[in-house]
Amino acid sequence: MNQILKSNILARTLKSSIIALTLGFGSAALGADDSYKLGLQAYNKNDFTEAARHFEAALQKTQNDPLLWYYDALCYHHLKNWSMAKSRYKTTANSFPLTEPGRRAAAALKAIDPSFVPPKTLAAATVSAQGERQPSNTQATNEKPADSKPTASADDAALDQELAGLPDSAHFYFKKSQQGHMEVDLMVNGHPVKAIFDTGASALFYKDQLKEAGLDLNRAKAGKGTRGWAGVEVSTEVMPAQIKLGTLTRTINIKMPESSNSLSTNLIGQDFIKGYQYEIDDKGGRVDLKKKLAAKQEKLNPLYDIPIEIIAGKEFIVFTVNSQYAKAFIDTGASNTIFDAFSAARFGAVPTGEVVHMSGVGGDLTMKRAYVNIRIGGMYRDNFPILIGGSGACALGQDLMEGWKYKVDRENKLLRFFH
C-alpha cells in the first residue's frame, strides 16, 4: 500500500477517532482560553482552517497542553498540510508521551511518516511531581554518548557489583514539610545539604545550593536537559558525588541545574535507592531499605498487595478513580496527587474553580482543584482532592498515602500495605 493511500485511509478514520476523543475529554484542555473553545467550535463544524487559526493563537499563550498540540495537528492533517501536521504530531508525541494525545499523535505520525521513531516506552520522559522529567536512562553519566550502548546485562552486572559492597538493609528518617514533602538531611561529599526524598526523581541538586554548602564542583560536566511539570527544559551539569542519607552511603551521579529560586528544593530519589526495596512509615517518619536479594517471599493478600509495573525506575500501579481504571506512578516527592488534563476529564473530575500555584524544575505553573473517589485495592479515599494540570502523566502524591505504612516490593513487583 503506497504512502498516499495510507494517509488517505487514516484521514477518513480520523473523524470517528476525534469524536471519541472529544467525548472523552471535551473541554479537557483546562488551561485553555477562549481561543481553544473557539477552535473546538470551528473544528466540530469541519472548518479546519479557522480551527487551526484559533489553536495557533492558544499555543501562543501556553505550550504545556497536549490537547492543544494534538488538535492543531489534526487540523493540518485534514487540510493535508503534511509538514505542519508532522511538526505538531511530533511535538505532541515527544513532549507528552505519557498522555493519550501523545500516544495517538505518535501513531498518526508513524502512519504518515514511517521514518518517525516514537518514544520507546511510556517512560521515555517521565515526570516527577516535584518537578523533574527524566529520560529512560535514570542514571546520569559524565561521559558523552558512545557508539555502542551497554547491554542490560552489563548494567545489571555493574549494579550487582556495587550492591555487593553496600549493606543488606539501611534506613533514614524524614520530616513532613508544611506542603507534605518528605524532607531529609543528607551529606554530599561530606557537606550537609537538605533535600526531598522523591521516588519520582533520580538525583537533582541545584549548583548554587551546593556551592553555598561548600562543595567543589570543578568535576562537573555538561549533562542532558531535564523537564518538570511546567514542560520547560532546563540544562544541567553532572558529576559523581558521595551521598550519605541515614545509614546508607553511596556514590552516584547527580544532575545539577545552574540556580534555584526560593521554592526550589534538591531531590534525592531512584538513583540512590536503586537495587533496594523501600518501606515507608508515614506516621513514624522513617524509610527502611532492603536489598532485593535479601527479601523473602510472603503470602499475598489481593486487597493489600497491589501489582506494580516498574518503568524507567518508577513504580506504576493500576487503581480506580470514580470507578474507572487508572494508571499512575508513586511519587514521594509530590505533596499532592496530580492528574493530567486528559485523564482528569476521562475520570469525570470537575474543577471546583480553586486555583493552586506550584513551582518546580522549569518554572511556575497553575493547577486546578477537583475531588474524586480513589480505590487502591482495599484502601479508599472518598471525595479526595487532586490537582489537574502539568505537562503530562498522573502521580500519586504524599497526600494520598498519608497515614499509611507501605512497602514497595520490587522483587515481587508489589505495593504492599500494612493493615
pLDDT at 73: 93
Euclidean distance between CA atoms 152 and 333, whole angstroms: 28
Is residue 238's pLDDT more than 70? yes
Residue 253: the pLDDT is 95
Task: Calculate the average pLDDT of the chain.
Answer: 79
CATH number of 164-291: 2.40.70.10
Instruction: Give mean pLDDT, residues 296-316.
Output: 77
CA dihedral 377, 333, 119, 98 (to 10 degrees): 50
Q: Which residues, at least 6 apart from 15, have a Cβ–Cβ distance to it below 8 Å?
A: none
Bigger pLDDT: 352 or 41? 352
d(CA 336, CA 350): 17
Whether the per-residue pLDDT at 133 is higher than 90: the answer is no
Does residue 165 or residue 147 have the better pLDDT? Answer: 165
Work out the average pLDDT over 358-370: 77
Domain with CATH 1.25.40.10 in the chain: 33-112
pLDDT confidence tier of residue 333, bands split at 50, 70 and 90: confident
* Ranges 223-232, 305-314, 377-386, 390-399: which has the least confidence: 223-232
Overall pTM > 0.85? no
> If you count them, how many residues does the chain have?
419
Least confident of 2-16, 39-53, 304-318, 389-403: 2-16
Q: Which residue has the higher pLDDT, 212 or 95?
A: 212
pLDDT at 267: 93
The third-level CATH classification (topology) of the domain covering 305-418 is Cathepsin D, subunit A; domain 1 (2.40.70)
**Mean pLDDT score, 186-191:** 96
Categorize the per-residue pLDDT at 141 as very low, low, confident or very high, splitting at 50, 70 and 90.
very low
Does the pLDDT value for residue 301 go beyond 50?
A: yes
Res. 363 pLDDT band, cuts 50 70 90: low
Determine contact, residues 136/121, Cβ cutoff 8 Å. Answer: yes
Which CATH number fits the domain 33-112, given the four candidates 1.10.3720.10, 3.30.479.10, 1.10.1200.120, 1.25.40.10? 1.25.40.10
> Which of 10-19, 90-99, 224-233 reaches the highest mean pLDDT?
90-99
Quickly state the pLDDT bin for 33 (edges 50, 70, 90): low
| pLDDT at residue number 148 | 38
> What is the rounded (10 degree) CA torsion for 343, 346, 347, 352?
80
Edge to edge, the sheet with strand 133-135 lists: 125-127, 133-135, 226-227, 233-234
Per-residue model confidence (pLDDT) at position 155: 74
Q: Assess contact for 407 and 416: CB atoms under 8 A.
A: yes
> What type of residue is 41?
Q
Cβ atoms of 317 and 310 within 8 Å: the answer is no
Instruction: Tell me the average pLDDT across 196-211.
Output: 90
Residue 5: band (very low, low, confident or very high) from pLDDT cuts 50, 70, 90:
very low
- Residues 279-288, mean pLDDT to the nearest whole number: 90
Question: Looking at the predicted structure, is the pLDDT value of residue 284 above 70?
Answer: yes
Residues of the chain with CATH 2.40.70.10: 164-291, 305-418
